[in-house]
Amino acid sequence: MEQTTMPYSVDLLLRIRERKPLIHHITNAVVMNDTANITLAIGALPVMAHALEEVEEMVSLASALVLNIGTLTPAQVEAMLRAGKRANARGIPIVLDPVGAGATRLRTEAAHRLLAELRIAVVRGNAAEIGALIGVSGETRGVESISVAEKHEAIARRAATELRCVVAITGVQDIVTDGIRQALIDNGHPWLASITGSGCMATSLVGAFLAVEPDAFTAATAALVAMGLAGELAAPRAGGPGTFRSHLLDAVANLDTSKLIQGQKVSIA
Amino acid sequence: MEQTTMPYSVDLLLRIRERKPLIHHITNAVVMNDTANITLAIGALPVMAHALEEVEEMVSLASALVLNIGTLTPAQVEAMLRAGKRANARGIPIVLDPVGAGATRLRTEAAHRLLAELRIAVVRGNAAEIGALIGVSGETRGVESISVAEKHEAIARRAATELRCVVAITGVQDIVTDGIRQALIDNGHPWLASITGSGCMATSLVGAFLAVEPDAFTAATAALVAMGLAGELAAPRAGGPGTFRSHLLDAVANLDTSKLIQGQKVSIA
Amino acid sequence: MEQTTMPYSVDLLLRIRERKPLIHHITNAVVMNDTANITLAIGALPVMAHALEEVEEMVSLASALVLNIGTLTPAQVEAMLRAGKRANARGIPIVLDPVGAGATRLRTEAAHRLLAELRIAVVRGNAAEIGALIGVSGETRGVESISVAEKHEAIARRAATELRCVVAITGVQDIVTDGIRQALIDNGHPWLASITGSGCMATSLVGAFLAVEPDAFTAATAALVAMGLAGELAAPRAGGPGTFRSHLLDAVANLDTSKLIQGQKVSIA
């Protein structure tokens, strides 16, 4: 496991801002506004559309598709499948955020169905959600024999292998793996957990990076570095979660080459 | 009517932060993000889920259920009834926010049906909404013989008796009553009325306090004190409603024992 | 084309704050919160309601109706038609925001149907959206012979004539025209394009001004001056799009007579 400077993440940010890719979201009602705003902040263009009648047309205009199953309904699952199949046919990358997988059967089954019927480039969730996708508990209670970090790494690797896609688990330390390569990202700030939708926002950033970088492992890693570093830069300016959320968007918009080079804390193995 | 120091509200805040109860919301699309964020800020965990297929499972994981009828649809009423019945069966407390009751038949009838078919612990609304639930006008125009405060107290008491639950009317002065006990809360700031969803956010706080305090009168009073005091603490830092909203979330997150003891303006009779 | 001081916009702001008109929105899920908050900030009262069962009753209580087709579903189109017909019958003005017209058939056809079946007072969109309504490209690539501004003016004038309503195109320069009169508004700030929903928020302000001013050309012009000026006043206080959004709401709430008189950059021909 060696420390790298990963200069490519810098190039990706510039590429997003130059190309301004359209990122089609079919996402939950809680975070629609925040995910649209963070997509704009990184330099891409968000569009939210979930009607069965328009998702295929809309995704055809997009450079990446973000599927997020928070506040899910069965009709929305159909819309996600339609949009996803069109995206697959066109080579448009898909990132899936399995919000609440494991909490209810609707969500767990929806995530499984999307993973079975679509070719997903990246799944991003917390350890419990990713664990639920492969039938293991992401909870760490009662597991004293191995460290939390090692447990999360094991879940991520197994999920990547079983689901045949890049898996990103976010938490105190973020893990990205395609089953072979693995990135550990120590960027971040505890206040990211104090606002709703920070995970969903990270997923939107993965969508933006996927739109300009065909290697999903690289795209997901770069996105999580950007998100975590923005959290670090925002926190000192904030007095709590309300102002933190505003400064987080500022920080994403104000990311640049030198901040990324100096600030990234990523090790790739 | 005597001034009390109500030290129990302090304990409740600590209890929320220790237990981090899950608060299931079936709520309106305008305020989903704000209510999720204020639930996190007080120290609880929000989950938003409204699909018929998952509400019973989701509420079973929760420690309180928040029902809010803004942007209502008939399908949502069914989801609220299903979730509410399961909550009642499990002893999970319910708080109802009858947004817009009295404005349209859909909303008035939905509120009546929820109150008739479910055991609701607390109803929180403004005077017009609570008045509409018992068929009296909460409007104060043309009622010069008694003061506004007295009129609101009368509506609250009558509603508590008729609806057999704790009633909380928020306004310049907040009133909480179970028909016998009554709390008058003078915490608050005019800017709370300048942002959308401050009432809905107060209702979410009631849900968080209900999750850790079985006496609904105590829980609702403590929640409204917390909300009003946070408004007071946020206002001096803000330059208008946009920054006020950010500082309000900060202030809720930064509430602590000494602030509550020093800042509460509540009289209980 | 002469510079005017347009003192009436000042009167309109005072009129909104005195009358506090109710503005019924049937709008998209991304911007519901922001549009509710900007409606409050200008001094009006927002209500969001989209259920078929209540839109006619709700719009009857309102002084203006805002229709916005972002995140559209076919059911929502029906709700918009019902609410719109009732509004027309009662003389309640309607403003339409054709978000994404031209991007998908669902949206383009919905906009056409609303324009065909309802009497719309004002349509507000960007050049591409307004162009799509009259079957011309609002894109300016490859059109070097005339300036962007002239092209947008031509689209606006033609749309106003064909659609028989006031058309407002927002962009670097805003254009309002009823086909005969034309206002060019140079208020604004580039950061308005860095947050989601700034166009939708402008449309909500048009609704608030329509509620107190029967001349739709005047109402739309005054609303866009207010929006652009608020953007100018907010920008110096912000460090990026997140804090800009908070300060934008503050700036709208803090607009007053002297700021409008001193700050407006509008020429009417």
Q: What is the mean pLDDT of residues B191-211?
A: 97
- pLDDT of the residue at A147: 81
With cut-offs at 50, 70 and 90, classify the pLDDT of residue A137.
confident
Distance (Å) of CA C252 to CA B240, B242, C42, C121: 9, 9, 6, 23
With cut-offs at 50, 70 and 90, classify the pLDDT of residue B148.
confident
Tokens encoding A32: 């629609």
Q: Three-state secondary structure along B198-234?
A: HHHHHHHHHHHHHCCCCCHHHHHHHHHHHHHHHHHHH
With cut-offs at 50, 70 and 90, classify the pLDDT of residue B147.
confident
The residues, ordered by sequence, that sit 6+ positions from A193 with a Cβ below 8 Å of its Cβ are none
Chain A partners within 8 Å of C106 (Cβ): 51, 53-54, 57
Interval C182-232: pLDDT, tens? 999 999 999 999 999 999 999 999 999 999 999 999 999 999 999 999 999
Q: Is pLDDT at A140 greater than 50 in this prediction?
A: no
- pLDDT of the residue at A146: 65
- pLDDT of the residue at C3: 47
Q: Is pLDDT at B192 greater than 60 in this prediction?
A: yes
SS3 A102: coil
Chain C partners within 8 Å of A237 (Cβ): 239
Spell out, as residue ranges, where chain C has pLDDT lower than 50.
Answer: 1-3, 7, 140-144
Cβ atoms of A68 and A31 within 8 Å: the answer is: yes
For residue A105, give how far its alpha carbon lies from the nearest alpha carbon of chain B (Å): 7
* Cβ count near B149 (within 10 Å): 14
Q: Which domains, and CATH codes, for chain A?
A: 2-268 (3.40.1190.20)
Instruction: Scan residues 204-263 of B and list those with Cβ closer than 8 Å to A.
Output: 237, 245-254
* Arithmetic mean of pLDDT over chain B: 93
Tell whether ipTM is more than 0.90.
yes
Q: Is pLDDT at B1 greater than 60 in this prediction?
A: no
Q: Is B245 annotated as a binding residue?
A: no
Cβ atoms of C54 and B106 within 8 Å: the answer is: yes
Chain A partners within 8 Å of C198 (Cβ): none
- pLDDT of the residue at C22: 98
Q: Which residue of B has its CA nearest to A103?
A: B58
Bridge partners of C184?
A: C175, C267
B with C: how many residue pairs have Cβ under 8 Å apart? 92
- pLDDT of the residue at A145: 53
- A66 in contact with chain C, both atoms CB, cutoff 8 A: no
Whole-angstrom distance, CA of residue A154 vs CA of residue A131: 10
Instruction: Scan residues 186-205 of C and list those with Cβ closer than 8 Å to A.
Output: 194-197
Q: Which candidate from A37, A57, A247 shows the least CB-CB separation from C195?
A: A37
Interval A144-177: pLDDT, tens? 456 888 999 999 999 999 999 999 999 999 999 9
* Cβ count near C253 (within 10 Å): 23
Within chain B, how many helices (H) and strands (E) appear? 11, 10
The residues, ordered by sequence, that sit 6+ positions from A172 with a Cβ below 8 Å of its Cβ are A148, A188
A with C: how many residue pairs have Cβ under 8 Å apart? 92
Cα radius of gyration (chain C)? 17
With cut-offs at 50, 70 and 90, classify the pLDDT of residue A1.
very low
